[in-house]
Each structure stands twice: as structure tokens, then as C-alpha cells.
Structure 1
């Protein structure tokens, strides 16, 4: 009985050691799972931050490139407009000089033709007054031509100024349209970045929810395993207790049977002694 009790105590100690080792392994497994989840979450956050930084840097580069192209386009338009104005001014100057040269050439031609006609008609004896009148008439014609050329030049200047005003107005309209397009593009980029941030946030939330769900599943499975293991442990312990109780009952039965046998043997011996004593007395 003492040997059996010692074996039972040793078995109970081994079961206790095994249960403690199981608990330690389960705790270490939970810690490893938690650390793995933390590493995965940190890695996902780093990747999300890196992707957001890449998107922001790409967006900034696109905006700066677009602004640079717009500035270059504006500068080229200003240079073209300035060159156009200079060409128009040079054209007006050259046109005015050409008209003046043509007027002078026409006057010289007319003067030469007049002299030739006068020489042909024999008007060499013209009086000084007629020649003076002709000179005055020629001077008046030159003045009229010069005034007409000046009016034409002023008209050209006013047309050029009007064209410049129209061009400046067009430049202002184009600059306003460019600013509107740039503002709309910036708003679109901001909305797109906001949508991307919201999408990334939703992805992070979904990943976190999935990780939490997986963690709950693992915890539930672990709880079920521990519950089943505890149930098996309780069943085994109950079986061990019943077996020990059966052993004790059997030992008790053995002891009772031994005692009964001993008492029976003693009674038989007592009867034999009594019988022998009776036989002696009868003899």
C-alpha cells in the first residue's frame, strides 16, 4: 500500500510537471504570436509611411515640374510677345521710312519731269514769281504728304497700341486661366492624396481587424484546447481516483478475507484443542 501510494504521488507529480510545462509552452507560444503580430503591424505601418512619403514626394515633384513648365511657357510667351512688338515697331519704322523715301523719290521724279516739260516747252523765261509759286506749291504738297504720312504713322501706332492692349488682355486671360487650371489641378491632387490616405487608413484598419480576428480565433482555439485538456485531466484524475479507491477497496477486502481466514483457522484450532481436551478428559 505504501509503495502504491508512493507511485501515485510520483504519478501526480509527473502530471503536475507535465501540466506546468504545457502552460509554459502555451505562454511562450502566445508571446511569440504577440511579438509576430507586433512585428507585422510595425512593418505594415513602416511600409504605409514609406508609400505615403513616396506619393507625397512624387506629387510635389509633379507640381514643381508643372509649375516650372508653366513659368517657362509664360516666359516664352512674354518673349514672343516682346519680339512681336519689336518686329511690329521695326516694321512700322521701316514702313514710315519707306514711305518717306518714296515721297522724296516721287518729289524728285516730279521735279525732274517738270523741269523736262519746262525745258521742252521753252519755259526758260519763266518769271521768278511763277517759280516761287511753284516752289510754294511743291512745298505745300510736301507738307501735305508729310502730314498724311504722319497721320498714317499715328494710325499705325494706335493700331499697334490696340493690338498690344488686346495681346496684354489675352495674356491676362491666359494667365488667369493658367492659375485656375493650376488651382484645380492642386485641388484634384489634394483630393486624390486625401482619398489615398483614407484608403490606406481603411487598409490599416482592415489589416488590424483581421489580425484581431485571427488573434481571437487563436485564443478561442487555445481556450478550447485548454478546456479539452483540462477535461481530459479531470477525467484522468477521476479515473485515477476511482482506480485508487478500487485498489483500496480490494486491499480492504484482502485484509478482511485474511482476517476471516485467520479467525476461521483460530476457531478450527480452538475446536481441535477442545476436542482433544474432551478426548483426554473422557479417557
Structure 2
């Protein structure tokens, strides 16, 4: 009756050989194609370096002014504008400006990539139930896989540096963008679509002029979630060479520097709040505008 209590497992030698073969196969693939794959991502590296130099090289008053302007355009709320400006000023006051700008540049690049990849996939899923059924399990794996696991294949392929970190962050932060784009387009009122058909709109015109504008509040929620998940990966990505606020936090953990970890952690929280308030306020304004149009 021992078989009732002990779960049947694969033979230990067979399991060892299987794992060894998979690892050797991936190493062989990395040695054969690693350089070619790394070359494909050189434009991404250039984009990341450009964004980082732009933010770190711009005078801090101008950066705060631009962020305040974006906050005003997105929210039309002076409290949010003043809160964003004050948060950035305090980050600079506590000598974390350069690391913060490096982190913001990485989040910007990751968000642009996530939007560029996620919206077309979300549109495709909204138009095809078969594609939705195929992609959903992949998204489930991407969202539930421990974030540390993403670092292993990326580092084996591309080594240590900014680009592997950005790729790992994008993989982790992409699912909300895809899911909410798909959901937003599928939630568009059928009567509106029928009216568009009655006016002879083509499939592309219907998508561009009806579905995407009406789905925009939901898509903005996807962008918001993508940014939050990307910020959550900042500290983990610093383990493979991504510069920014994550590296001081990692240093604080290794050396038990309490204040260093808390200050940089609060800076990450501050950046997250700025992104969250601006994107949420803009999404809320879009939602109200849609209600007025349909009201």
C-alpha cells in the first residue's frame, strides 16, 4: 500500500538526463545564435541609450516643468500637478535624481515597447476567438511565472546589461496591455458597430474611428497596469545590470543599509504614484467624455 502514500515520480536517472539534454540544447543554441540575436536588439539598445541621455542630460527644472505640463494635460487637476512636481523635487533634494531619470527612461522604453507589441496582439485577439484561445494560456504563464525566471534565458542569450533587463521587464509587463486592449474592443456596444456598418465603414475604418476611440479608457487602464508592473521589476532587473533606483536597493539589501534602501524604495513609490495618477486621471477623463458622447 506504499504506492498510495508516495507519489509516483519519473526515474531519477531519466529525469537527470532529460534536464541535462534541455540545458545542453539551450546552451548550444545560445552559442550558435547568441551573437545574431544580440545584433537584432542593437536598435533597442540605441533607443534606450538615447532615452537615458535625454533625461539625465536635461536640466532638472525643465524635466519637472514637462512632467507638470503632462500632468495638467492628463488630469486638469492642480493638486495632481503640484503633487507630481513636489515629488520630483524631493527626489532630487535627496540626491536620487540621476538614478530616478535612468529608471524613468527604462520605464518609458518598456512602456513604448509594450504598447507597440500589445495593442496589435490585443486587436488580433478581439477579432479572432481562435487566436484569443491560443494566446490566453501564454499570457497566463507570463503573468504567473516568477519574475526571476525570466532573467535566466535572457541572460544566457544576451548576457548582462540594459537590453536583457528591458526584455525581461517587457515580458513581465506585457500581459495587461494585451488583455485590456482585447477586452476594451470586445466591450464596444454592438449597436454602435451596426451603425458604422450601416454607413458603409470598412473593417479598418470601423477599428480606427469607432472601436479604438471607444476602447481607449480600457486601453489606458492597460497602460497604467503595464507601467506599474514594469516598476515592480526595477529591483529585480538591477540584478542583471540595469541601472537606476534598483541598484541602490540591491546594494542596501546586500550590505544592510536601511536608509539607502528606504529612500530609494520611496523614490520608486513616488515615481509609481506620478505615473499612476496621471494615467488614471487621463483614463477617467476619457471615460467621462465617452459617457457624454453616448449620453
TM-score, with structure 2 as normaliser: 0.21
Greater RCO, 1 or 2 (C-alpha within 8 Å, sep 6+):
1
Larger Rg over CA atoms: 1
Which structure is higher in helix share?
1
TM-score, with structure 1 as normaliser: 0.21
